[in-house]
């Protein structure tokens, strides 16, 4: 068993309101896309009030090469990761030398050496830290990183592990792409980094932690076959082009619901036994699909909706922002939580947790 001790977050300095993004898109596309106004309701109906971007919004109106955007990804991600790590260390009273492994999650940029190697060149981690970069899991990456950290701590129960999810989704915006997927992505995507400290049951950090913390009891990854076109990136000369299927809310109802039921049944539980749904807020339609298909009352995913409203969809980092909200809110002893996220593949990641 492993325990989540703390979560740290960081966002770029440039904050935009949703109505300003809507105006920007209208000005940018109204000449080349005569029917653009028909798509603008996605900005009002997406459940987002504001979000953070790596650059001022005017920057996105110009064409930038893939290499330029990717270099910006590396520089900004490293800077934000350092802030998130320090934010994560404070409540747990952790130090760099306590860390045994780093799971580095990203999908919106490419870096070799990988991001955690660049971070370790700026922060005094031990040179023997085990590095596990994970790329390409999209919105499911944060949950998958926690699952892999849990596996690691089961094998090495005295270990302390960092899971860092760094995403700059705004850098995938394509000012010449007139597809509906680009418009939907523009209405949702934002930038942020989250860092989670996970410790094994024999870790000294875990033993001296104060207050209720979620222990990870069981994890599950599920891949839906023949679903490569549901979600992902199309990699072209200009960079990453978003792929979104209109069927995602239907998939939540018809495929995700049974997966969650089976996962909980394996532990003798039902959906009604879960007090806290730590759900990745992919968008308002996805949250509504959770409510309708899983029978969740709005208050059960209120913190997911709060994060979506204030930060937008930061891909893999978003569910970890939601997790941080849960750590900062009053939870009862032995309450059960289900952390889950969906990503390319098409796939789901689930973690059963208990606050102890």
Peptide bond into 20 cis (omega under 30): no
What is the helix (H) or strand (E) element at residue 155, kind and residue range?
A: helix 141-155
Q: Is 181 exposed, middle or buried (0-12, 13-18, 19+ CB in 10 A)?
A: middle
Residue 106: which residues within 8 A CB-CB, separation 6 or more? Answer: 77, 115, 133, 134, 135, 141, 165, 166, 167, 316
Contact between 173 and 29 under an 8 Å Cβ cutoff? The reply is no
DSSP string, 271-339: GGG-SEEEE----HHHHHHHHHHH---GGGGHHHHHHHHHH-B-GGGHHHHHHHHHHTS---TT-EEEE
Count other C-beta atoms under 10 Å from residue 13's C-beta.
8
**Residues 3, 114: Cα–Cα separation, whole Å:** 26
Contact criterion met (CB below 8 Å) for 185 and 179: no
Radius of gyration over every alpha carbon of the chain, rounded to an integer in angstroms: 19
Closest CA to 343 of 223, 247, 240: 223
Nearest by Cα to 171 from 75, 53, 83, 80: 53
Helix, strand, coil shares of the chain, percent, nearest 5, are: 45, 25, 30
Active site residues: 139
What token pair was written down for 247? 């069927």
């Amino acid at each position: 068993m492993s325990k989540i001790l703390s979560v740290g977050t960081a966002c770029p300095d440039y904050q935009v309101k949703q109505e300003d993004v809507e105006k920007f898109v209208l000005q940018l596309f109204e000449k080349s896309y005569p029917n653009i106004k028909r798509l603008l309701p996605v900005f009002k109906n997406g459940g987002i009030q504001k979000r953070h971007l790596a650059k001022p919004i005017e920057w996105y109106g110009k064409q930038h090469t893939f290499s330029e955007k990717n270099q910006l990804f590396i520089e900004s991600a490293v800077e934000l990761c350092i802030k998130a790590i320090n934010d994560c260390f404070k409540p747990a009273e952790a130090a760099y030398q306590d860390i045994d492994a780093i799971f580095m999650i990203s999908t919106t940029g490419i870096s070799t050496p990988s991001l955690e190697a660049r971070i370790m060149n700026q922060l005094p981690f031990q040179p023997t830290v085990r590095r596990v970069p994970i790329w390409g899991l999209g919105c499911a990456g944060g949950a998958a990183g926690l699952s892999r950290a849990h596996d690691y701590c089961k094998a090495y129960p005295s270990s302390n592990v960092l899971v860092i999810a760094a995403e700059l989704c705004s850098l995938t915006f394509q000012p010449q792409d007139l597809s509906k997927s680009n418009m939907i992505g523009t209405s949702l995507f934002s930038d942020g980094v989250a860092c989670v400290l996970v410790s094994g049951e024999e870790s000294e950090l875990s033993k001296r932690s104060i207050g209720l913390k979620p222990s990870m009891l069981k994890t599950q990854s599920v891949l839906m076959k023949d679903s490569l076109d549901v979600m992902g990136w199309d990699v072209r000369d200009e960079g990453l082009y978003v792929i979104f299927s209109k069927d995602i809310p239907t998939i939540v109802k018809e495929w995700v619901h049974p997966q969650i039921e089976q996962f909980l049944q394996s532990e003798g539980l039902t959906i009604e036994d879960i007090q806290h749904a730590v759900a990745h807020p992919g968008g308002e339609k996805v949250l509504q699909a959770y409510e309708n298909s899983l029978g969740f009352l709005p208050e059960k995913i209120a913190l997911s909706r709060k994060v979506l409203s204030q930060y937008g969809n930061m891909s893999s980092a978003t569910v970890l922002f939601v997790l941080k909200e849960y750590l900062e809110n009053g939870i009862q002893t032995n309450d059960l939580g289900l952390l889950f996220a969906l990503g390319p593949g098409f796939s789901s990641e689930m973690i059963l947790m208990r606050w102890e």
